Structure 1
Amino acid sequence: MATFGQRLREIRNEHNLTQKQFAKMFQLSESAIGMYERDEREPSFKLTNEIADQFNVSTDYLLGRTDNPRPTDYGDDIDPKEIAEFEVFVNNPNHGIFFRDYLSAPEERKKELLQFWRFIREAEKDRKPGDRQGE
């Protein structure tokens, strides 16, 4: 699989952007882009998400976890930003036990886990710190 740096360079070149132009898009220095492309520096979650959103690719693609650049098609009712939010939730060590196999799961299982997360998110949306689960 490719590295973040390779994917970044690939995307930049596909869009005919110089390192300077690309850096300006994300308010970074040209040297930072060069370091990312040489895999000398790792991006923040925020930057990874911003690049994914800007170029309509998945964060998994940027990070070299898949060769499929487009977000998984879960259907019209699921927004790619929701997928990104879910992946942040899944990667949180406090939440990830149940969802730990999400990234390597087959597409059908990913859909099931996403639906389960939606249920949890909705049920817990008004819960405040210190409230017991389900109250």
Structure 2
Amino acid sequence: MSVIMMGFKDRLKELRSKKRLTQEALAAALEIPESTIRRYESSDDNTPRRERLEKIADYFGVSVDYLLGRTDDPAPSDKMDDKEARMGLAFITGGEDLTEEEAEYLKESLELFRRMKERRAKEREK
């Protein structure tokens, strides 16, 4: 017997309802037009761009895969563990081991860059 998973519109409605949010309140929290939320919840053909999907997933504390109906597990997948992150960042130094302080600095710098990039993208959308 196959189980039919819910799609994006159903997941969004369910998550919003569990938080007891109106479409208007969710739109305000996400800083998007209320009509966009209505459109997302009314049609299977209206799936947001990646950046907005990530923003919605972060807001509700779920994974993008859960929002899209690819999994029934709402928990966000674990990011790389610290060892994997340090290994990934190590290529910058030519393979030398990074100190904890260096690894933390690189992570923070990357997060800052991503936030600035997202802010610039929002400004261009306006």
AA aligned to 1:123 is A
Is there any run of 5+ residues in structure 2 with no aligned partner, and where?
A: 96-126
Summarize deviations over 1:48-104 as a string: whole Å, max 9, x none. 1111111111111011110011124xxxxxxx5xx3xx7xxxxxxxxxxxxxxxxxx
Structure 1 or 2, whichever has the larger Rg, is: 2
Q: CA RMSD in A?
A: 2.5
TM-score by length of 2: 0.60
Is there any run of 5+ residues in structure 1 with no aligned partner, and where?
A: 73-79, 87-113, 128-133
**CA–CA distance in structure 1, aligned partners of residues 41 and 92 of structure 2:** 39
Name the structure with the higher helix share.
2
TM-score by length of 1: 0.56
Distance change (3 Å), C-alpha of 1:50 and 1:125 = farther
Alignment size in residue pairs = 91
Q: 59, 62, 80: which is aligned to 2:64? A: 59
Percent identity over the alignment? 39
Q: List structure 1 runs of 4+ shifted beyond 3 angstroms.
A: 114-120
